[in-house]
Structure 1
Amino acid sequence: MQTKEHSWGKLIKLHRQKQQLKQDDVAFGICTPSYLSRIENGMVIAEQAIYEQLLARLGINLMDQQFKQQEQISFLEELYEKLLSNESLHQKAIEKLMQMQSFGVQLEEDLFAKLVYSRYLLSIKEDDQARNLLLEIEPFIHWKHDRLTQLYVAITGFAYLSFLEFAEFVEREERLPCAHYLQTATSFEQANYYYHLAFAYHRNYNFQKALIHIEKASATFSHQYKPLFQLKIYSMKGVIYNDLHRFQEANVEFNAGLDLLNHVTAIQTPMQWSSIHNNIAYCYECQGLFEQAVHHYKIANESEEDLLAIINWMRACYQLGDFNLLHKLLNKYPFEQFSVQHQKYQWRLLQFACKKEITLESLKALDEEIFPYFMEQDYYSLTLFYAPLWGQFYEQLHAYKQSAKCYKMAFTASEKVRQRMSS
């Protein structure tokens, strides 16, 4: 942040303008109007007595103002810590935060309040409103090792994930390494930022860099008691190891997460149980252990029904050859229940794959609609499973040209993953 004297200068200017006073009126007997102008614009730093006299003329006690500012910043820091920890906020605290939202960005505490409010908006999925607020704040960030820059870097990083802009987040970090702005932030804040980077690199198929950042998050976070965040680290590291085909190490992380869940009542929510079992199931699925995968997908959905875990469960059933269970799931969770596009497409592919009779026209219709979408959205793992399956169906109909096209698509997806993993 800027110095306290710069803040005082801005405060003098703000209240002088509110009271519709000229610089001559306020400066009379204290300093020259031109010197006041330079004080207000942060061009000079005067003696504290000058600030006290100027503010007193405007009816403001500097000591009271400093106490009020410190109290406000402490409140905002406490709120931000709770948001980072995924703790629920009391309604009174939310109302107080909203009352702090001024129409402009006049003082640094206004910026601070807007940044914390934008993080709150992201936590309640008001992403568009949060984005507009962050765009309003951006011109006032000095990109120095100050608190406002730290908050802006961390909150915009989280916003990238909320907007599903993983490549953009990775590109920013590669072009303008932002993690170093957080070197003087708390270790928990640094760990959160590294975790978010790991998430973005992973979703961008850069698993090696994802692993580097999740290990940084783990090392920075060590010796702190925040079990929910520790669980997130175990899960993220396990997911990354799984995609690197380091399955034994992935299982170690997932089992550590299960052990933590079993012993800490405060984090034992249906969502957490479902998430960890979904990850374990997918790890088994990647190893071709489909019976174990189906078992854990079932547990995941007994804990909390989640459409992603359900579509994964259906896919594992198909691979296991348990078509009776797959038909039951398709009937229990019809197409209309899904809203995420790749889940809807998978439902249609799996439902079609269960048919006893297939035609070349129907194969091509789904192929031409769905597979380009998977490739455009970088859903390489889905292409790697479904494209060869369609290739087999084409072969059964002796449509070898179409079959070769599907296998080539799978090869292309495999190469893209390999290139990103090795970058």
Structure 2
Amino acid sequence: MIGERIRYFRKLKNITQKDLADGICAISYLSKIENGVATASEEVINMLCGRLGLNSEEAVNEFDGGLLRVLTQFKGNVKNRNFSEAEKLISELNDVIQESQSQEIRIQYDVYLFGLYVFTGQVKQSTIQYQKIHQTSIDLLSQWPQIFFDYYYYLSLYLCRKEEFHKAMKCNEKLIGLMKLIEISEIEKGRIYFNQAWLYTHHRLYFQSIQVARNAIESFEAEFDIENLLDSLILIGVNQRRIQDYYESEKYLKRALQLSEKLQKTHTIAITQHNLGYLYSDMGRSLEAIDQLQSAFQSAQLSGNELLCLIYLLSKEYMKLEQFEEAMEWCDKGLSLLNTYPYREYHYHFHLQYMEIRNVENEQYEETLREAINFFEKEQLNQYVVEYAEKLANYYYQNTKYKKASELYRLANKARQN
């Protein structure tokens, strides 16, 4: 029926009933036309089609109600992340989609199939679908704001999976601009803001990340999306520590901890305790740092990089307190875990920590510091460049190698400014 077709093309072009009906008919009358309750005159139909950029013949010929209903179900399942239900519809759609005379329908299917492949981690199929869209449809997508927006959302996630983070960040910036043009849920807004905050963090743009993550928090709070809210609180807390705004960092991390404990989310509790321990370590509050880090360790919720970081921090804090036996105990734990989690960063941390606890300052210590500085310079982890450059400078100074010491102090100051 013509009303169903008008509704289809109106939604496809992201036009509201108010805008379509303006100057043609009442909004309530348009609603009745779309729902088949009222039969409009040929003049009204022609005017509505004209505003949609169609003629009445196109509205009839380019529309298949049955196909649209299946495609709408498929699109809804992808957007709502009901992936198993979406996959059940693929074979049915593949049989008829290419026969459709509607270019919009074919492009719409390609975009949401791309989204399904991205969400479900099917990298090869995602790449094939991306190339197909890029070669055949990319210049046409801007005609349909909703499809255009969803395509760039899926593209951002796809680029993250491929670890093309700079491209993903630029793609997400475009998405945030497009949000003003279409209607999307607060949860969708929050996810886009959070993804951008994470990408800014990856590029060490901490101030920008904090600003965007606050937008994410507003969206997640509006929809009571606790999981994503917790992730956003922790991300802000971590980045506030990185820019040395310790008061704000503690505020966000404590809020995350209180909410996690209330909801009994054990993994999130451990993550937050770990980050509070890291914060207190940076603040020189060793006893509080140890308390939080010990709690996180006892939960047995952490692994990999997070677990190595936690153990290294515990060893450091005991070292600061001159409790060398406890420091060595945790250092030995870290060294033994390097076989399971061979992170190069912690290879240097633990081996240097071991030598310092044992008060070993020899050529091996010098060489390991040199290797560590070179590694952290390449990784652009400037806080460790500062730490180890200053340690090596002190070593040279104590051994009356003043020229080398001066070079290392300059390197540390340069890294501190970056």
Letter in 2 for 1:276: T
**Does 2:336 align with 1:326?**
no
Which residue does 2:310 correspond to in 1? 313
Deviation at 1:102, TM superposition (A): 5.9
Q: What SS does structure 2 have at the residue aligned with 1:240?
A: helix
Which residue does 1:390 correspond to in 2? 392
Which residue does 1:340 correspond to in 2? 343
Deviation at 1:229, TM superposition (A): 0.8
Which residue does 1:404 correspond to in 2? 406
Deviation at 1:6, TM superposition (A): 12
Spell out the pairing of 1:23-422 with structure 2 (5 A cutoff).
Answer: 47=57, 50-51=60-61, 62-79=64-81, 92-93=84-85, 96=88, 106-121=106-121, 130=126, 133-139=129-135, 140-141=137-138, 142-143=141-142, 146-170=145-169, 177-183=174-180, 184=182, 185-265=184-264, 268=265, 270-303=266-299, 304-316=301-313, 317-321=315-319, 322-333=323-334, 334=336, 335-360=338-363, 362-416=364-418
TM-score of the aligned structures, taking structure 2 as reference length: 0.72
Deviation at 1:167, TM superposition (A): 4.2
Letter in 2 for 1:358: E
> Residue 192 and residue 329 in structure 1: after superposition, are their counterparts in 2 closer, same or farther (change >3 A)?
same
Letter in 2 for 1:291: L
Q: What SS does structure 2 have at the residue aligned with 1:337?
A: coil
Letter in 2 for 1:233: S
Q: What SS does structure 2 have at the residue aligned with 1:368?
A: helix
Which residue does 2:43 correspond to in 1? none
Aligned residue-pair number:
352
In structure 2, how many angstroms separate the alpha carbons of the residues matched to 1:251 and 1:136? 48
> Residue 410 and residue 276 in structure 1: after superposition, are their counterparts in 2 closer, same or farther (change >3 A)?
same
In structure 1, how many angstroms separate the alpha carbons of the residues matched to 2:58 and 2:142? 27
Q: For CA contacts below 8 A with separation 6 or more, give which structure has more relative contact order.
A: 1
Which residue does 1:25 correspond to in 2? none
Letter in 2 for 1:112: Y
Unaligned runs of at least 5 residues, structure 2: 1-6, 13-52, 99-105
Q: Is the contact made by 1:118 and 1:134 (CA closer than 8 Å) also made in structure 2? A: no
Cα distance per residue 1:39-95 (max 9 Å; x no partner): xxxx9755257517xx8xxxxxx222222222222222221xx7xxxxxx6xx4475
Q: What SS does structure 2 have at the residue aligned with 1:205?
A: coil
Q: Is the contact made by 1:6 and 1:45 (CA closer than 8 Å) also made in structure 2? A: no
> Residue 48 and residue 136 in structure 1: after superposition, are their counterparts in 2 closer, same or farther (change >3 A)?
closer
Cα distance per residue 1:151-183 (max 9 Å; x no partner): 23223334454455544444556xx64311233
**For the aligned residues, what is the CA RMSD?**
3.4
Cα distance per residue 1:227-275 (max 9 Å; x no partner): 111111211121222222221221111111111112224xx1x431221
> Residue 237 and residue 99 in structure 1: after superposition, are their counterparts in 2 closer, same or farther (change >3 A)?
farther
> Residue 287 and residue 198 in structure 1: after superposition, are their counterparts in 2 closer, same or farther (change >3 A)?
same
Deviation at 1:113, TM superposition (A): 1.9
Cα distance per residue 1:313-354 (max 9 Å; x no partner): 344322441432232233334232223332333233323333
Deviation at 1:287, TM superposition (A): 0.9
Q: Is the contact made by 1:383 and 1:413 (CA closer than 8 Å) also made in structure 2? A: yes
In structure 1, how many angstroms separate the alpha carbons of the residues matched to 2:346 and 2:302? 14
Cα distance per residue 1:362-421 (max 9 Å; x no partner): 2343233332221222212222333323333333333333333332222222111xxxxx
Letter in 2 for 1:301: F
Q: Is the contact made by 1:98 and 1:117 (CA closer than 8 Å) also made in structure 2? A: no
Letter in 2 for 1:47: E
